[in-house]
Amino acid sequence: MSNALFGVDVRSLAAMRILLAAGILLRLQDIYPHAEAFLTDSGVVPRSLFFETGPAEGLSLYFLNGTPLFAVTLLTLNALAAVALLFGYRARLAALVCWILSISLTQRAPLIATGADYLVGYLLFWAMFLPTGSAFAIDAALREEARPRSHLSVASAGLLLQAMYVYFFGALLKTGGAWHAEGSAVYAALHLETVVTPLGHWLRNFPDITVPLTHGVWWLEVLSPAILFFPLWTARVRLIAIPIFIAMHIGFRLFLAIDQFWIFSIASLIAFVPGIFWDWWDKRYWRDRQRSIAIYYDRDCAFCRKISLVLRQFFLPHTIAVKPAQDEPGVGEVLERENSWVVIGDDGRQRLHWRALVYVTEQSLFMRPLSWLLALCGALGLGRRTYEVIGRNRSSLSKLVPAPGRAFRLSAPVQIGLAVVLVFSLAWNLRTHVAVLREALPMEHPMVRTARAFQLLQRWRMFAPIPQLDYVAPVVEARLENGGAVDMINGRPGAPAYEWPTYPVEAVRSPPWRAYFNGVTFHLPGLSTRYFTAYASYICRSWNRDHADGEDMESLKLTLLKGRTLSNFDSDRSGREEMNFRCVDRMAPY
C-alpha cells in the first residue's frame, strides 16, 4: 500500500476526531429533549411496536430497557464519551464507546435516523483502529517520545475508502434524468419544501445556476476515486480538491436543513489532508517569540508535570521546554517560595499562579476565548482560590489524568479482520450494480446479517435516483375537557393554523420530529395508522401527566398537510389526511 495514497497524517486524524465529536454532541443536543418520545416504551415507538412491525436484527443497548431514566443515562454516556473524544482523552476507547452508543441509538430509532447517523457510525468504526489521539489530544500530551507523523494500515485505507464510497457509490445511484439529461436535481432539491432553508428559497430565483451546479456535483462525486486517490502529485491534488468538496457541503447546509451530515462529511474529508499542509500551518500559526516560552513544574508533583504537558499540547508550540523547576538555577527557589509553577514568557518575565495559566492559554489564537474567561475569574478573585484548591488536591487529581499508554500498533489478526471488513464493504457497495454479487450476498447470508447487526451495511441514496418530491407538514390540535384548544406542534394555546407556513421547513423546527413525520408518512405507508395511534397515545399521556385535573386532554386531531413538487416545479399542496383520536384515560398505556 502506498503511504501517499492510503496513509493518514495524525494531525488530520486529530482534526477529524474533533469534528466527529462536535457533530455527535450537536446530534445528542437534538435528541435529548425528546428521549422519552423516541427511545422509551412510553414514547411513540415502544419496543413492543418496534419488534412487531419490522425486523429488529440490529443490536442496540436501548433494547435492554424501555424507561426514560435508562435512555437518558445512555445518552449521557454517549455525550461524555464524545467529550473525551473531543479532547483526545483515551481517544480510541472513547471512539469505541461512541460507536456502540451511536449505532444503538440509530438502530433503536431508525425513523429519526438520517444519513449523518449512518456515516458517523462508519467513521467511528475505523477511528477505533487508528491513532486518533496522537495529536492535539490529552493522550498525545502524555506521550513524550517521538511519534511518526504519518500512519499507514488497513484501517487508514478503510477510513479513506469509506469517505470516498459516500460520493462515488452515491453518484452511481443517481440515475434519474434530473441528474443527467435535465440537470434539474439541485433545483428539485430546492423545492423539497420541508428541507429547503430561506436561503434556498432565494437561490430558486436563479434556476440557470442550478443546472451547472447539478452536473458539477455529480461529476465531482463520480470522479472522487480518481481525484482523492490520484497517484501523481497526490498531496497537491488533494489540497486543491478538498476545499472544493468542503465548499459543496457547506453549500448543502446553507440551502438545505440536513442537520449534521455536512459536519461528518467534512470530517471524513479532513482525513485526506496531507502533512505538508499542517507543516505550513504550524510555521505560520506560531510566532518565533512564542517558541521561547518555558514551563517549569515541581519535580515531586506528577499532576503538575501532566498538566504542564497538556497545556503545552493545546496552547503552545510543541517544541517549548517543559522542565522541573529544580533543574533551573533560580527558578526552583521561586517555586519553593511562591508555592507555584513558573512560566517564563518570551519577554523573560516570570509568571506565577493563576496569571501564568491565563498567559499560557492566551497564546493560541483559536483557544483565546478561554483565556478571557480565565482572566475574568482572576479579576473576580476566583482564580487564586481555584489554584489553591487544586494545589491541595494534586495527588488525587493526578489519578484523573491517564498515564502514558503503549505505542499504537495493530496486530496482524486485527489487520486481517479489518481487511475482511474492507473487502465486504466494497462488495456490498457494488452489490447494487453487479448481479453476481447480489447472488453471492443474499440478505440471509450470515456475513450480511452480522454486518446488519453492527450497522455496517451501507447504501448512499441521498437524492437518489432523484431528489424526493413528496413532503409533509403535520398540524396537531388538542382539545381539552375544559373546552380549550392547544397547538401541540408549536406548543401554544389556541387552535393551530391549518395552512402552510411561508417556509415549510419551520412547520416542525425539531429535526427528530421532522424526520419522524416524514418517515412514518412516506416509508411506512401500510403501518402509518398504527404508528400515529401510538403517537396520539404518547401525546395524551404526556399532557395529562404534566397538567392538573380540569386541563385533561380529551381528544387529538392529527392533520397531515401533503405537498408534491410537480414536473414544472410548481407545488401541489392540496393533499390532506386527517386522523382523530380520543384520549381514553389520563395515563392509558399504549
Note the pLDDT tens digit of each residue in 45-97: 999 999 988 766 789 999 999 999 999 999 999 999 999 999 999 999 999 99
What are the two backbone dihedrals, phi and then psi, of residue 338, each rounded to the nearest 5 degrees?
Answer: -95, -10
Q: Whole-angstrom Cα distance, residue 454 to residue 445?
A: 15
Q: Say whether both 458 and 515 belong to one domain.
A: no
DSSP per position, 246-258: HHHHHHHHHHB--
As a whole number of angstroms, the distance between CA 78 and CA 93 comes to 12
pLDDT of residue 301: 85
In a 10 Å sphere around its CB, with 0-12 CB exposed, 13-18 middle and 19+ buried, how is residue 91 labelled?
Answer: buried
How does residue 588 score in pLDDT terms, banded at 50, 70 and 90? very low
Whether residue 588 lies inside any domain: the answer is no
What mean pLDDT comes out for the span 118-142?
93
**pLDDT value, residue 387:** 78
User: Quick one: 495 and 440 in the same domain?
Assistant: no
User: Stretch 188-195: mean pLDDT, rounded?
Assistant: 93
Q: Is 2 part of any domain?
A: no
Q: Is residue 248 domain-shared with residue 359, that is, in the same domain? A: no
Report if residue 279 sits inside a domain: no
Task: Give the model confidence (pLDDT) of 498-537 as tens digits.
Answer: 999 999 998 898 999 999 999 999 988 889 999 999 999 9
* Cα 99–chain centre separation: 11
Is residue 193 domain-resident?
yes
What sign results for the dihedral spanned by CA atoms 443, 447, 453, 458? negative
Final residue of a structural domain among 109, 127, 146: 146
End-to-end Cα, the chain, rounded Å: 56
The residue range of the domain holding 370 is 286-398
Q: Is 199 helix (H, G, I), strand (E, B) or coil?
A: helix
pLDDT at 146 over 80: no
Is residue 323 located within the same domain as residue 223? Answer: no
Q: Which of 130, 146, 162 is the endpoint of a domain?
A: 146
Give the pTM: 0.93
Peptide bond before residue 465 is cis, with ω within 30 degrees of 0: yes
Per-residue pLDDT of 243-266, as tens digits, reads 999 999 999 999 999 889 999 999
DSSP 479: E
pLDDT classification of 468: cutoffs 50, 70, 90:
very high
Instruction: Assess contact for 155 and 149: CB atoms under 8 A.
Output: no
Q: Which of 141, 449, 470, 170 is nearest to 307 (CA)?
A: 141
Q: Does residue 162 sit in the same domain as residue 259?
A: yes
Q: How confident is the model at residue 407 (pLDDT cuts 50, 70, 90)?
A: low
List % helix, strand, coil for the chain (3-state, nearest 5). 55, 10, 30
pLDDT of residue 590: 38
Same domain for 268 and 300, yes or no, is no
**Res 1 pLDDT > 60:** no
| 141 in the same domain as 177 | no
Does residue 233 lie in a domain region? yes
432 plus 478 within the same structural domain: no
Amino acid 233 reads W
CATH code assigned at 378 = 3.40.30
Whether residue 403 is predicted with pLDDT greater than 80 in this model: the reply is no
Q: What is residue 303's predicted lDDT score, i.e. its pLDDT?
A: 84
63-70, Cβ contacts within 8 angstroms, sequence gap of 24 or more:
63/108, 66/40, 66/41, 66/42, 67/40, 67/41, 68/35, 68/36, 68/40, 68/42, 70/40
Query: Between 75 and 149, where is the model more confident?
Result: 75
pLDDT at 33: 95
Judgement on whether residues 454 and 559 belong to the same structural domain of the protein: no
392 in any annotated domain: yes
404 lies in some domain: no
- Output DSSP code: residue 196: B
Q: Which residues of 456-481 are buried (b: 16+ CB within 10 A; e: fewer)?
A: bbbebebbbebbbeebbbbbbbbbbe
Average pLDDT over residues 211-232: 96
What pLDDT does residue 92 have?
A: 94
Do 44 and 108 belong together in one domain?
A: yes
Residues 40 and 77 in one domain: yes
pLDDT at 372 > cutoff 70: yes
Per-residue pLDDT of 553-586, as tens digits, reads: 999 999 999 999 998 898 899 999 999 999 975 4
Query: How many domains would you assign to the chain?
Result: 4
Kindly state the percentage of the chain with pLDDT values over 70.
Answer: 96
Q: What is the pLDDT of residue 269?
A: 97
Instruction: Judge whether residue 367 has pLDDT over 90.
Output: no
pLDDT (average), residues 425-448: 90
Cell numbers at 286, concatenated: 506560531
One domain, residues 215 and 315: no
> Is residue 269 domain-resident?
yes
- Average pLDDT, whole number, for the chain? 91
SS3 assignment, position 358: helix
Of the candidates 502, 495, 483, the one whose C-alpha atom is nearest the C-alpha of residue 559 is 495
